[in-house]
Chain A
Amino acid sequence: MLQTEPIAPISLSADEADVKAEDYLWTLNFGPQHPATHTTLRLVLKLDGERVVDAIPDIGYLHSGFEKLGEHLDYNQYVTVTDRMNYISPMANNVAWHHAVEKLLDIEITPRCQYVRVIVSELARISDHLLSCGAMGLDTGAFTFFLYAFYQREVIYDIFETLCGARFTNSYTRVGGAMHDITPLVVEKIRTFLDTFPKTLEDMERLLNRNRIFVDRTKGVGVLSKEEAIATSASGPVARASGVTLDVRKDEPYLAYGDFDFKVCCMRTGDCYARYLVRMAELRESLKIVRQAIDNLPSGPINVGVDERTALPDKRQVYQTIEGTITHFELMMNNRGFQVPQEEVYAAIEAPNGELGFYVVGDGSHVAYRARCRPPSFIHFAVFPRLIRGHTLSDVVAVLGSLNIIAAELDR
C-alpha cells in the first residue's frame, strides 16, 4: 500500500539518542596485520559510515623486552639491539645509544669520530625521511614516488655496507669510537650520492608537491596545533610541522653539530602535508650537513687512544702490539672493562623521527643497570586518535604515514 502521509520525525530523549547514535557505529579492526600499517600495530576504529568517530590504538604486538635485554648486555653488545628499534634508521639509534653511554662514562670522542657520526646519522635521517615520505606517497596512491625514494635508500644502504659491512643492522658505533674508520672509497661514494641525489629530490618534489590527488588527501588532514604538539610532547618533524621550533641539534649541539651551517625546517599548519614538506625540506638540510662534514673531515684516529682503555682496539693492534692485547683483554673481561660510575644520565639526540633519548644507569659493572629508551614513535602514536577523529577511513593511512610510526620502536 502506498503511504501518502509524510512520516513524522521521531523524537528521542537525550539518553535514547545516545544509544541510537551508538547503533550507527561500526567497529573496525585495523591491523595488526595490514599492508598499510607497514608494521605490526592494531587500531580499533569506531566508524560512522566512512567517518572515524574514535580510534583506540592497541600496541604491544612487537614488544620484545629490549629494555630488559639492556640490563644483561654490556655497553658494546647492546648496540646490536638498538639497531632493531627504529630499523629504518639504525645508524641514528647506534649514535644515540653510545652518545648516552659516553656521557655516563665521561668519554670524549675524537673529532674525526664526531664528524663520522654526524655523517652517518644524517645519512640515516635521509634514508628514514625517504622511507616515511615514500610510504606516505605509496599509501595515498603515488607509487612512482615510492620507487624513486627506495632507489635512493638503496644507494645509502650501499654506502653503509661499504662502511661497516652491514646494510640494514649496522651496529656501527662502539664505546669511544666506531667499528671501522671511514675509508676513501666510502667518501667517494658519499660524494657521488651528494651529487646525484639533489636531482632525484627535485624530481620527487615535482612529482608530489603540487600533485592534486596527494595534496587533496593530505592538506587539512590530521591537524595538530602548536599547543597540542607541546602538550603531547611531540618532537622532531611532527612538532616542527606544527610550528614548534625545537631541534636538539641546534638547542643542545651534540657531536659536532655546532660546526655546521643548517636550518631548522618548520611549518605552521601542522597537517599531514606540512609534515611531508618538513621532511622533504630536512632532506636538503641533511645533504648540506653531510657535504660540510665530508669537506672538513678531520684527520687523526677514529677511536679514543689505546692507552685510555675505552675503545676496542682493532685486530692489527691486538695481534701485534702488547698495549693492544692488554686493552683487548681488559675490555673483554667482565670484571675489568670500563670504569663505570654509580650514576645515571639522560642523553638525547635528534633522531629522524624526533628526540631519541636514553636514560642509562650505571652500577659499576660491565652492563647497564637500566637502559631506558625514549622512543619518539611511542609518543607520536599516542597523538594519533586526536588526529584522526572526524576524518575518513582512507585518511588513517595518510596520518599513520605522516607520523612515521615504526612498531619495533613503538613496542621495543
Chain B
Amino acid sequence: MHHLSDVIDDLRELTTGTTEEVTVTEFRGQQRIVLPKSVLKDSFGRLRDNWGFDLMVDITCVDYLNYRGARNRFGLVYVLASSGANTRLVLRVMLNEPDLSVVSAVPFWEGADWLEREVWDMFGICFEGHPNLQRILMPEEFTAHPLRKDYPLQGRGERHHFPTLTRSEA
C-alpha cells in the first residue's frame, strides 16, 4: 500500500532544478496531479513501475476555449488505477496552440491505443510515438476536430456535404 502523497513527492522530484512544477488540486476527494509536459514520459514510467498504476482507465481531453478563468486551451486527462492497491489517480497535462503534441502512453499501457486515437480524432492532439495515430470515429477524409469548442453543433461536416460514391466509382 502506498499513499498518494508519496507518489506526488516522487513526481515532484522530476521537476527539481527546473522552473516548471507539479501542482496538485483536489475536488470531492479526487486528487489531480497537473504535470508539465516535459516530465510526462518519466512520470508514466514511474507511475507504472514504481507505484503500480497498471490500468489506464481513460484518456480524454477538455477544450477550455471559453471557460471562465482558464489559462490553457486544452487539458488532457489521464485516469489511472492500480489493480492491486485499489487506488485511482487523475493526471492532467495542459497544452496550448501551436504545440499540440504530447508523448504517447501506448508504450506503457497498451489500452491507451484507441483512447489516444479518439482524442486525436476529436481534439487534434498529436501523440508522439503512437503506433497508428489515425482517425477512429470520424471518416478518414474529415478535416476538422469536432469536439473542439470552436466547432459548432450544427452546420458543418454533415453527411450531405460528403461526396457521393456510386457503385461504378467505388
Contacts and interface: CB of A to CB of B under 8 A. Distances in A.
B58 A231 contact: no
A244 B62 contact: no
Contacts of B27: 341, 343-345
Contact of B54 (A69, A230, A345, A348): A230
B147 to A, nearest CB: 6
B111 A68 contact: no
Interface stretch (A31-39, A131-139, A374-382): A374-382
B69 A231 contact: no
A65 B83 contact: no
Contacts of B128: none
A69 B28 CA distance: 26
A348 B77 CA distance: 15
B167 to A, nearest CB: 15
A379 B68 contact: no
B58 A346 contact: yes
Interface in A67-85: 67-69, 71-72
A355 B57 contact: yes
Contact of B136 (A59, A235, A359): A59
A180 interface: no
A60 B136 contact: yes
B170 to A, nearest CB: 13
A67 B55 contact: no
B138 A346 contact: no
Contacts of B110: 228, 231-232
Contacts of A315: none
Interface string B101-116: 0000000011111110
B62 A361 contact: yes
A357 B115 CA distance: 14
Given A346-B30, A382-B114, A363 B67 contact: yes
A362 to B, nearest CB: 10
A103 interface: yes
A363 B135 CA distance: 29
30 contacts: A59-B136, A59-B137, A60-B135, A60-B137, A60-B138, A63-B137, A65-B146, A67-B147, A68-B146, A106-B28, A232-B110, A234-B111, A244-B83, A342-B67, A343-B27, A344-B62, A345-B27, A348-B57, A357-B57, A359-B58, A361-B62, A369-B62, A370-B63, A374-B79, A378-B114, A379-B114, A381-B114, A382-B113, A382-B114, A411-B137
Interface of B: 27-28, 30, 54-58, 60, 62-63, 67-69, 77, 79, 83, 86, 88, 90, 109-115, 118, 122, 135-139, 146-147, 151, 153
Given A106-B28, A343-B28, A346-B90, 19 more contacts: A59-B137, A60-B137, A60-B138, A63-B138, A68-B151, A231-B109, A233-B112, A234-B111, A342-B68, A346-B77, A348-B57, A357-B57, A359-B60, A359-B79, A363-B67, A372-B58, A378-B114, A378-B118, A382-B111
Closest 9 CB pairs of A and B: A233-B111, A60-B137, A382-B114, A374-B58, A63-B137, A372-B60, A231-B110, A232-B111, A370-B62
